[in-house]
Amino acid sequence: MRKTVFFVIAATLFAAVAAYAHHSYGATYDTSKEVQVKGKLAQFVFRNPHSFVHVQAPDEKGVQQRWAVEWAGTTQLDNTGVKRDSLRVGDEVIIVGRPSRVAGEYRLLMVTLKRPLDGFSWGTRSGEIVD
């Protein structure tokens, strides 16, 4: 069993860089915080207006939860190297995202995704920010 890696970086420095193009993510997500979850990919929905990944991963208490992680739309993902078959159920992934403003909601806004097995990653290069 993989050990929980869960931490919250309560920092305001991220808030300033939330330069989203047209969606008010701040209403849904706390854009001043980041949460990391590490677990197995349960579902990848490559679609408009936004894609989603669902990850089975433990929360801060070590309880397994299904996290819904909101990602970018298909044009943006496609042009940053993410295709409809880039991720598969069962992939071990590490995701950093902005947490929901609602306590107890296991949802995130994607910041970075990494798949250690092959080094696949998203969120660290230019243009890789949820638009």
Partner 1 sequence: MKYRMALTAVSVGVVLVASSMIHAGQRGGGGRGAAPPAKQAAPFDLSGYWVSVITEDWKLRMVTPDKGVYDALVLNPVGRKLADGWDPAADEKAGDVCKGYGAPAIMRLPTRLHITWENDNVLRIDTDTGTQTRRFHFGNAVPPAGEPTLQGQSVAQWEFAAVRGGQPATGNLKVVTTNLRAGYIRKNGAPYSDKTTVTEYYDLHALPNGEQWLSITTRVEDPVYFSRTMTNTSDFRKLPNANGWNPSPCSAR
List contacts with partner 1 (CB under 8 A).
43-49, 52, 74-75, 77-79, 84-89
- Shortest Å, Cβ 50 to partner 1: 9
Q: How far is the CB of 79 from partner 1 (least distance, A)?
A: 5
94-106 per-residue burial string, b: 16 or more CB within 10 A, e: under 16: bbbbbbbeeeeeb
The SS3 assignment for 16 reads helix
Q: Which is nearer to partner 1, 47 or 66 (CB)?
A: 47
Pairing type for strands 92-99 and 64-70 reads unpaired
Complex with partner 1: residue 46 or 67, whichever CB lies closer: 46
CA distance 110 to 36: 10
Beta carbon nearer to partner 1, 71 or 97: 71
Min dist. Cβ of residue 45 to partner 1 (A) = 5
Q: Closer CB to partner 1, residue 4 or residue 100?
A: 100
